[in-house]
Chains A and B, each alone.
Chain A
Amino acid sequence: MKINILIVLSISFLIGGCATSKPPMYDYGNYSESFYAMKRNPGEKSEGEWKSSLESIIERSNASAIRVPPGVFANLGYLYLKVNDTENAIKNFELEKNLYPEAEVFMNNLIKKAETQG
């Protein structure tokens, strides 16, 4: 009986071990495709698609509880900065800085720029 329980336990452990696959490190969605499209055909349309691609990366990452990839918040903030929405620009630069302390110097420079612009 005891042995049976042990076997069942070890089998379920094995199966469980196989089934747990690690989540991907980042979910980039169609980041490079929309980035490339924007480089190739700069304009409102491709920039809009780039923006929604960034927003969808953030949504999808949050939904699957993984870290938003480096630079996504900063890219989004920059799009807001370009249309003079300084409030949203600064908000996103702060988010980038909080998520990645490595970005602090650059984000502070961009925030300073946004503040003088706004």
Chain B
Amino acid sequence: MMTIKKILRISITLAATSFFLSGCVSPTYVTKANEFPGMYTEKPRSLLIMPPINLSTAADAKDYYATTIEMPVALHGFYIFPYTLTAEVLKQQGIYDSELAYDIPLNKFREYFGADAVLFTKILKWDKTYVVLAANLTISIDAEIKSTKTSEVLWKYNGTVVVDLSGNNNSAGGGLAGLLIIAIVTAANTAAADYTRYAKVANGRFIGSVPFGPYHPLYLKDQDYKIIQQKTK
């Protein structure tokens, strides 16, 4: 016969173990102000988007990224310098396709563009995976916002987003015919020009943890917003 004490002891051990196990997977939450204090002290108003460094196997990733990144950052409230123009100017300076920009003193960008901060990005992965009934777009990105005043990192992100390309459209009905229709829709979706829409969705998710910029109604009101703490590499 088990004594009550024994039962208690076992259940405490079990509880502790499950707490420990769940602790391994649950993320740590921090506030935006704690994680990125520089954004609130420097209050950058304008961001210069650097051409991304593409380390993925998808050659077209750079174009998809470049043509969809301006919108989410602008909708986050920042003044975004027009990418076509800035990319052209940077190209003339010989820093379009390389990591050279990282070594340039950032106050140069302040002098020529008047940019308060610069957004650097590395595309680590941009993979389309097809399964029978769905297609996913997996994007891994390393990103940093650096001050042009102090060259300090004001915000950083590294992470992976998986976007479901099948359009969440399950209205095709049941049965085999229904499944086939979904499969066809999926293939058509990923082949079509509206692929930029998915790139947009994926790109938009990266900037969720950035404090809002001056043109957003929540500018300087989101200090206490909880975000998932980034793992330091």
Contacts and interface: CB of A to CB of B under 8 A. Distances in A.
Main secondary structure of the interface of B (DSSP, over half): helix
Contacts of A40: 63
Nearest to B88: A78
Interface string B16-52: 0000000000000000000000000000011000000
A10 interface: no
Residue with the greatest number of chain A CB neighbours at <10 A, chosen from B78, B81, B88, B111: B81
Interface string B110-145: 011111100000000000000000000000000000
A96 to B, nearest CB: 8
A90 B203 CA distance: 32
B82 A33 contact: no
Interface in B56-91: 63-64, 66-68, 70-71, 74-75, 78-86, 88
A75 interface: yes
B216 A25 contact: yes
Contacts of B223: none
A106 B113 contact: yes
Contacts of B66: 39
A74 interface: yes
B149 interface: no
B196 interface: yes
Contact of A39 (B63, B74, B80, B81): B63
24 contacts: A25-B216, A31-B70, A32-B196, A33-B194, A36-B63, A36-B64, A36-B193, A39-B67, A70-B70, A70-B74, A70-B79, A71-B74, A71-B83, A75-B82, A78-B82, A78-B88, A103-B46, A103-B81, A105-B111, A106-B81, A106-B86, A106-B113, A106-B114, A106-B115
